[in-house]
Amino acid sequence: MSATAAPLVAVYADESCLGNGREGSNPGGAGVLVEYARADGAIVRRDVWISEPATTNNRMALRSVIEAFRAIAHKGSTFRVVFTTDSRYIVDGMTQWVHDWARRDWKRKSGPIENLALWQEAVAAVNGHAVDWRWVRGHAGHAQNEYANHLAITAATEQTTSPALVESGYATWASRVSSTTSKMRLEPFPDPSAFKPAPRLPGVGAGRP
């Protein structure tokens, strides 16, 4: 099946680094909520999260991409993926920067590429899928993004990693936070007719460390 005709999956990802930019070991986490629609229209949700003991926000943003696509790849299929994040670093990187870097043999004019190995790992994980990269403002009441942020902060704080995709705790979390805020809104499952895939990502053979 071609990627453009593949089943649709919605991914919401966020990252956290406790004390980002501070000297010393800064624990971080990345959280991912995956949604897909069953034949009867019911939405199924799954979670995946990872942690690192000493990291940065940008590294964890890249790890959120890597872990999300590794997790859905366990199903052995190609998907159309609407990937929603509040990280411009990811959206701009995946839709613009990596193409320029690849044309220069994974180099840039201004010097070394920060987190090059992770960028290439992320590109390799994404390749084969059609992806619509979408940016959302963080901490603005977007329920799925807020939940991914909750997963990331919890992973960073507790230094835990999920074994793979696990049954989502979204419903329990949502019922808890709904009692404290009325601004949270659940985004509907993406409309397949509105899916706009980004250009296919480059290969990562040349310039790979």
Report residue 76 as tokens: 């052995």
Tens digits of per-residue pLDDT, 127-141? 999 999 999 988 888
Tens digits of per-residue pLDDT, 88-121? 999 999 999 999 999 999 998 888 999 999 999 9
Report residue 131 as tokens: 């992806």
| Domains of the chain and any CATH numbers | 3-194 (3.30.420.10)
Report residue 206 as tokens: 């040349």
Only one residue has tokens 């007719």, namely 193
Give the end-to-end CA distance of the chain in Å, rounded to a whole number: 32
Residues of the chain with pLDDT under 70: 1-4, 20-25, 75, 179-182, 205-209
Residue pair 13/83 in contact by the 8 Å Cβ criterion: yes
Taking the C-alpha atoms of residue 24 and residue 163, their distance in angstroms, rounded to an integer, is 28
Q: How long is the chain?
A: 209
Only one residue has tokens 């680094």, namely 17
The H or E element that residue 143 is part of is: helix 143-158
Q: What is the pLDDT of residue 190?
A: 96
Cβ within 8 Å of residue 157, ≥6 positions away: 18, 27, 29
Q: What is the pLDDT of residue 208?
A: 47
